[in-house]
């Protein structure tokens, strides 16, 4: 039985481990396979791939595409797609670009009440990468106003709060088709993680994504209750979809620990069979 954790982040998005640090941490956690799925970028793949042999950990290359349905943020994991697929690259670039405009607007609003600047926030974000609320949180924590990222999300960074601004992101149904067109395996991330959105994603939207080629559902995730996880497994079974579980590790940016949720080898094999690229083994 392999230990497979298919959803993690590095410093190329909002994680705090470099890709090589992540591979090292994966080895120390006894993982056999780790999935690197930074938000809207594959920039960390190369460095992670260079550490497969030294760490003995297999690398599942992926990304977590930001999508938006009405005012609800939807995260769509893509595995083993062509990283040069034009339209997918263009979509990620557009999202990264509008993330920057959006973060600037949020910082402008926040700076009326907290002593933070855009310069400070951008120093925490990956250069030319996706800037997100976690990087704004890092600047807020540095002022001493909040103890950690989570406290910022519970207060000033909450979507229902006065400082929140949306960014452009693709429709999840279009994005599902796009990932398939790029040879990727689209798996919806933590669909029941309600607290991070204004409203839960309606079942009808997930069903439209399934119609468009959705390959699987991330069921076991710390932001799901046991009932959420069971409901999503039932849905996956009904449509013969892949079932995954993951830590969604962000280094020190979140309490999530590597390997706290895993994906069964049988389900991992289904991802591998459907992807354009291969998993990199030691």
Q: What is the 3-state secondary structure (H, E, C) of the chain?
A: CCCEEEEECCCCCCCCCCHHHHHHHHHHCCCCEEEECCECCCCCHHHHHCCHHHHCCEEEEEEEEEEEECCEEEEEEEECCCCCCHHHHHHHHHHHHHHHHHHHHHHHHHCCCCCCCHHHHHHHCCCCCCCCHHHHHHHHHHCCCCCCHHHHHHCCCCCCCCCCCCCCCCCHHHHHHHHHHCCCEEEECCCCCHHHCCCCCCHHHHHHHHHCCCCEEEEECCCCCHHHHHHHHHHHHHCCCEEEECCCECHHHCCCCCCCCCCCHHHHHHHHHHCCCCCECC
- Considering only the stretches 25-33, 55-63, 131-139, 208-216, report the one whose residues sit in contact with ligand AMP under the rule CB under 6 A: 131-139
Q: Could you say whether residue 44 binds ligand AMP (CB under 6 A)?
A: no
CB closer to ligand AMP out of 153 and 163: 153
CB closer to ligand AMP out of 70 and 273: 70
CA nearest neighbour of 38 among 5, 78, 98: 78
Give the total of residues touching ligand AMP (CB under 6 A).
Answer: 12
Interacting residues of 28 by C-beta distance below 8 A, sequence separation 6+: none
Q: Could you say whether residue 149 binds ligand AMP (CB under 6 A)?
A: yes
Output the smallest distance, CB 50 to ligand AMP, in A: 25
Q: What's the longest Cα–Cα distance across the chain?
A: 53
Q: Could you say whether residue 102 binds Mn ion (CB under 5 A)?
A: no
Q: Which residues between 171 and 230 bind Mn ion (CB under 5 A)?
A: 189
Which of 24, 29, 122, 150 binds ligand AMP (CB under 6 A)? It is: 150
From the list ligand AMP, Mn ion, none, which binds 150 (C-beta under 5 to 8 Å, kind-based)? ligand AMP
Output the smallest distance, CB 39 to ligand AMP, in A: 6
**CA–CA distance, 193 with 119 (Å, rounded to integer):** 31
**CA–CA distance, 13 with 87 (Å, rounded to integer):** 20
From the list Mn ion, ligand AMP, none, which binds 189 (C-beta under 5 to 8 Å, kind-based)? Mn ion
From the list Mn ion, ligand AMP, none, which binds 196 (C-beta under 5 to 8 Å, kind-based)? ligand AMP
- Considering only the stretches 84-92, 225-233, 250-258, 274-282, report the one whose residues sit in contact with ligand AMP under the rule CB under 6 A: 250-258
CB closer to Mn ion out of 14 and 120: 14
Instruction: Give me the 199-238 binding string for ligand AMP, x by CB under 6 A, dash otherwise.
Output: ----------------------------------------
Give residue number: closest CB to ligand AMP: 132
Q: Which residues between 160 and 199 bind ligand AMP (CB under 6 A)?
A: 196
Q: Which residues between 112 and 151 bind Mn ion (CB under 5 A)?
A: none
Q: Which residues bind ligand AMP (CB under 6 A)?
A: 14, 39, 132-134, 149-150, 153, 196, 250, 253-254
Task: List residues near Mn ion by CB under 5 A.
Answer: 14, 64, 75, 189, 248
């Amino acid at each position: 039985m392999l230990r497979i954790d298919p959803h993690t982040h590095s410093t190329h998005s909002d994680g705090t481990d470099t890709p090589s640090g992540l591979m090292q941490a994966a080895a120390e956690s006894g993982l056999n396979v780790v999935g690197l799925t930074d938000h809207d970028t594959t920039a960390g793949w190369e460095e992670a791939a260079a550490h497969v042999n030294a760490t003995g950990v297999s690398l599942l290359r992926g990304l977590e595409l930001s999508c938006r349905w009405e005012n609800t943020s939807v995260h769509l994991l893509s595995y083993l797609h062509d990283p040069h697929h034009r339209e997918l690259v263009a979509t990620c670039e557009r999202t990264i670009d509008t993330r920057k405009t959006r973060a600037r607007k949020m910082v402008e609003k926040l700076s009326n009440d907290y002593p933070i600047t855009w310069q400070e926030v951008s120093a925490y974000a990956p250069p030319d990468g996706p800037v997100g609320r976690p990087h704004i949180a890092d600047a807020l924590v540095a002022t001493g106003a909040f103890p950690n990222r989570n406290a910022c999300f519970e207060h000033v960074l909450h979507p229902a709060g006065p400082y929140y601004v949306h960014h452009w992101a693709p429709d999840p149904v279009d994005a599902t088709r796009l990932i398939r067109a790029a040879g990727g395996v689209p798996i919806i991330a933590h669909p029941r993680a309600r607290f991070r959105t204004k409203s839960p994603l309606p079942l009808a939207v997930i069903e439209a994504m399934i119609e468009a080629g959705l390959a699987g559902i991330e069921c076991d995730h710390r932001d799901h209750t046991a009932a959420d996880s069971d409901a999503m497994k039932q849905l996956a079974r009904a449509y013969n979809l892949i079932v995954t579980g993951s830590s969604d590790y962000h280094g020190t940016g979140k309490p999530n620990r590597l390997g706290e949720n895993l994906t069964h080898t049988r389900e991992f094999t289904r991802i591998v069979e459907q992807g354009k690229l291969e998993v990199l083994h030691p």
